[in-house]
Chains A and B, each alone.
Chain A
Amino acid sequence: MTVDYLIELFSKLFDSPFISFILAVSIAGIPLFVLMALNATVAVYVERKVSAFMMDRIGPMGQGPGLHAGPWGVLQTIADAVKLLIKEDTIPSSADKLLFKVAPFIIFIGAFLGIAVLPFSSVIQVVDINIGVFYIIAVGSVGVHGIVMAGWASNNKWSLYGAMRSAAQIISYEIPAGLSIIIPIMMTGTMNLQSMIEFQSGSIWGILPNWIIFNNPFSFLAFFIFFISAVAETNRTPFDIPEAESELVAGWMTEYSGFRWAVFFLSEYANMFVVSGLAAAGFLGGWLSPIPGLFNSPIWGLFWFFSKIIFLIFVMMWFRWTFPRLRVDQLMHVCWKVFIPIAMLNIFGVGIWKLIIG
């Protein structure tokens, strides 16, 4: 159900196109917002449990369904959310008040805009625009403004350090990510996400699904370059130098507490969702099923898309709890001297492959 469909529906009921537009957009935005909130709650719980199992611990326990002690600890996230909402809202006295208050919401807006074009299924997508991929990449850079604002407005040397590092990191890693996402565009000839996924239907040699990642070795490599650059863009370990706990306390988020911090957290998980969604749509066939030909109805499509995203988010969490973090100059070295040459080589390689093998 897209916004276009809703606009048509409402324009039959109301005369003014303006009112129907506003109504359609608001109504389509609500499930998105609910999705973001649900994603954050589930992701936080999963992260805590996954990290606990990897570290040979158990994680949050008790508060099972039915509110008795049990091995689930599901209500812990709700308890945390309530705590964050009722916390005192402190702003450092020498901080720049307007920027301080605005910064979390700018990051939130960047992530929210990205989710709007993800194709959840062949019929479920909020907005189906022709330049889907380009739009996500562009809108993903809005977050940098928020981070730099947060670091500057906190009036704290540590936050400033964190914000500067983060800005440098995100801007640098957009380049290999952008170069790698060109591969699916080259191979499918379109930037529209739905058409890209439809292009990947069918199979190779009858067994493997015709996803872009399996098509040729260069696109296989491009997927990994894209995924690692995406991890770097969302400031996750091993690239979490801006929020390095042991060095800068909490980096650019140091002075934020309570609800504002919850918004940062929400945006981080929403960002992870968006980049995983883009990777799944561009390289892993979106809502197509891994067994070519079977289980291809729109409801199954929703299921496959969500499982791919969940798997990629799980891999990101796995990275976080296994690897130490890279230092700032090593991070830059990896981006500029390793990833960008490989990404350019990939573009060249895919072009030659298409030309010769077709």
Chain B
Amino acid sequence: MGVVQGDQMVLNIGPQHPSTHGVLRLEVTTDGEIVSKITPHLGYLHRCFEKHAENVTYEQVIPFTDRCDYLASMNSNFGYVVAMEELMDIEISERVQYIRVIMAELNRIASHLLALGVYGLDIGAFTPFLYMLRDRERILDIFEYTCGARLLYNYMWIGGVSHDLPKDFVKICVEFLDYFEPQIEEYNNLLTFNKIFIERTADVGVIPAEVAVSYGVSGPNLRGSGVKWDVRKDEPYSIYDRFDFDIPTGSGEFGTLGDCFDRYWVRMLEVTQSVRIIRQALKDLPGGDVFETMPKKIRPPVGSVYRRTESPRGDLGYYIVSDGTPSPTRVKMRSPAFTALSCLDEVSSGWMISDVLAILGSLDIVLGEIDR
């Protein structure tokens, strides 16, 4: 537009930047304020998880998986133990199954609260961030009460869990859920339906459904584009097929289908669905011993397995190759944030720099998972 063609400017966003959700360097080529190309540079947080996993035993891999996606550690653990139990063909006791589902869903709520709060912070709204973090602290208090850790739990072990639930866990959890459900109204009033927020996020960063599937985008990002795919319903693992919950998808309410607002809205609705699941699980929680189905020695048969589970960011997959020794030959973690970040270049060309940060925030990436 216009007669004067200026030079393109190359900007660096990161590696230290308040909005890149970790150490990520985005090399942005812009023409004025409009972005023409983005090249992400990764690897600042690469800690050689896969190489370490080849040198330790199967149980010792579990704390490593915690540290990959540090905002949803329970779900990372869950993915690994589900894959291992499929490889070793172990039956798990009922109590352990219910405990795992409760913990995974609580962690999903905590992770989504952080994602939504930080997204508001990126857009410029400072207060919802603090409200959501205040409620997330209560979830972390529940986790600390159960297993002693606030953020990195090492809780789900192969065949069981590391600590049994404390005696009044059900009462505390129900108290928290009763306090939490009306808070969602407050967040919606303050941020979601705010006209300025809708202007910043509707119609911005549209990911069409075919592009999303081709780029391997999954989880709330894919559901925001209208594709109704959730591993918990479509390839059920653990006991998710016993619970009654919906899969929210984006509907283009305030703009195009698949824009940033849809992804934000899907996460908000998923929080309500997780509350539903937890309530059902708490009601049916059976008694029993959590350590009875834990094998004494972990020596899986020779073979390999690839199993995916639903983490708050999408399809988390583990590819585990075993050769009969107590230590794995190869553990590969297929992280959902890696695939979400790969589509950033295509989705954000033609938008402005403020929009790039809005799109990056709506993809909800965690660099620990991308770099491993």
A/B: CB atoms within 8 Å of each other:
yes
Binding site for B on A (CB under 8 A): 51, 54-57, 157-158, 161, 237-238, 240-241, 244-247, 249, 320-330
| Docked-complex contact A321 and B124, CB < 8 angstroms | no
A-B contact pairs, 29 of them (CB 8 A): A54-B127, A55-B127, A55-B130, A56-B131, A56-B134, A158-B11, A240-B124, A245-B18, A246-B121, A246-B357, A247-B19, A247-B353, A249-B17, A249-B18, A320-B126, A321-B126, A321-B127, A323-B124, A323-B194, A324-B123, A324-B124, A324-B125, A325-B123, A326-B196, A326-B199, A326-B200, A327-B352, A327-B355, A328-B352
Question: Which chain A residues lie closer than 8 Å to B131 at the CB level?
Answer: 55-56
| Docked-complex contact B130 and A324, CB < 8 angstroms | no
| Docked-complex contact A157 and B11, CB < 8 angstroms | yes
Question: Which chain A residues lie closer than 8 Å to B247 at the CB level?
Answer: none
Query: Which one of A55, A56, A238, A244 lies within 8 Å of B196 (CB-CB)?
Result: A238
Interface positions, chain B 19-34, Cβ under 8 Å from A, are 19, 33
Interface positions, chain B 101-134, Cβ under 8 Å from A, are 120-127, 130-131, 134
Interface positions, chain B 335-358, Cβ under 8 Å from A, are 352-355, 357
Chain B, interface size category, equals: 20 to 34
**B197 on the A face (CB < 8 A):** yes
Interface secondary structure of B, over-half rule: helix
Interface pairs A-B: 5 shortest CB-CB = A325-B124, A324-B125, A55-B130, A324-B124, A324-B123
| Docked-complex contact A55 and B353, CB < 8 angstroms | no
Question: Which chain B residues lie closer than 8 Å to A326 at the CB level?
Answer: 196, 199-200
Query: How distant is the Cα of A323 from the Cα of B196 in the complex, in angstroms?
Result: 7
**B190 on the A face (CB < 8 A):** yes
- In the assembled complex, the CB of A234 is this many whole angstroms from the nearest CB of chain B, namely 16
| Docked-complex contact A324 and B194, CB < 8 angstroms | yes
| Docked-complex contact A324 and B120, CB < 8 angstroms | yes
Question: Which chain A residues lie closer than 8 Å to B194 at the CB level?
Answer: 323-324
- In the assembled complex, the CB of B203 is this many whole angstroms from the nearest CB of chain A, namely 12
| Docked-complex contact B125 and A323, CB < 8 angstroms | yes
Residue of B nearest to A240 (CB): B124
Given A323-B194, A324-B196, A327-B352, A246:B122 Cβ within 8 A: yes
Query: How distant is the Cα of A240 from the Cα of B196 in the complex, in angstroms?
Result: 13
A51, A238, A322, A329: residue with the most chain B Cβ atoms closer than 10 Å = A322
Question: Which chain B residues lie closer than 8 Å to A55 at the CB level?
Answer: 126-127, 130-131
Question: Which chain A residues lie closer than 8 Å to B88 at the CB level?
Answer: none
| Docked-complex contact B127 and A237, CB < 8 angstroms | no
**B184 on the A face (CB < 8 A):** no
B123, B126, B199, B357: residue with the most chain A Cβ atoms closer than 10 Å = B126
Question: Which chain A residues lie closer than 8 Å to B352 at the CB level?
Answer: 327-329
- In the assembled complex, the CB of B7 is this many whole angstroms from the nearest CB of chain A, namely 12
Question: Which chain B residues lie closer than 8 Å to A157 at the CB level?
Answer: 9, 11
Question: Which chain B residues lie closer than 8 Å to A328 at the CB level?
Answer: 33, 352, 354
Question: Which chain A residues lie closer than 8 Å to B130 at the CB level?
Answer: 55-57
**B191 on the A face (CB < 8 A):** yes
| Docked-complex contact B127 and A322, CB < 8 angstroms | yes
| Docked-complex contact B197 and A324, CB < 8 angstroms | yes
Question: Which chain B residues lie closer than 8 Å to A57 at the CB level?
Answer: 130
Question: Which chain B residues lie closer than 8 Å to A246 at the CB level?
Answer: 18-19, 121-124, 357
| Docked-complex contact B126 and A247, CB < 8 angstroms | no
| Docked-complex contact B354 and A241, CB < 8 angstroms | yes
| Docked-complex contact B124 and A238, CB < 8 angstroms | yes
Question: Which chain A residues lie closer than 8 Å to B123 at the CB level?
Answer: 246, 324-325
Residue of B nearest to A333 (CB): B199
B11, B124, B130: residue with the most chain A Cβ atoms closer than 10 Å = B124
Question: Which chain B residues lie closer than 8 Å to A161 at the CB level?
Answer: 353
A56, A157, A246, A330: residue with the most chain B Cβ atoms closer than 10 Å = A246
Question: Which chain A residues lie closer than 8 Å to B199 at the CB level?
Answer: 326-327, 330
- In the assembled complex, the CB of A1 is this many whole angstroms from the nearest CB of chain B, namely 42
Question: Which chain B residues lie closer than 8 Å to A158 at the CB level?
Answer: 11
Question: Which chain A residues lie closer than 8 Å to B190 at the CB level?
Answer: 322
